[in-house]
A = this chain, B = another copy of it.
């Protein structure tokens, strides 16, 4: 078997925060998350950041670096928690995870001028989404 998926059982805080992000239609910022989960007993920024760190680490969510925001992974079976690509609408800020075999293959095989390959990358495309065009 080529890829074995370790099942990560989420802890309570991780589950609460993942559920919130997962059902959100847009990327969520840490303090928006905090505000939303306070009714569930998560009171401090650090509790949020710790859960976010872990969720990113195991690939359940991704951080949109240019926006300091987080979205759930929608690459179904995301073996590529470390090879991410997104399109970002510069008007409505809609973010979509790009799942392109061609793109990931190209980038995974890309060699810099020293012949160096990189297995980990993050790519953010910017433009206008369908609605905003």
Q: Hey, which bits of chain A sit against chain B, CB under 8 A?
A: 65-66, 82, 87, 96, 98, 100, 103, 106-107, 110, 112-114, 116-127, 130
Checking B65, B106, B110, B126 against A120 with a beta-carbon cut-off of 8 angstroms, the contacting residue is B126
Chain B residues near A100 (CB-CB < 8 A): 110, 112-113
A112 lies within 8 A of B130 (CB)? no
Chain B residues near A124 (CB-CB < 8 A): 65, 121-123
How far is it, in angstroms, between the C-alpha of A119 and the C-alpha of B87 when the chains are bound? 11
A127 lies within 8 A of B123 (CB)? no
Greatest chain B CB density within 10 A among A116, A119, A130 is at A116
Chain B residues near A117 (CB-CB < 8 A): 127
Least Cβ–Cβ distance between A53 and chain B, in angstroms: 14
Chain B residues near A65 (CB-CB < 8 A): 65-66, 124
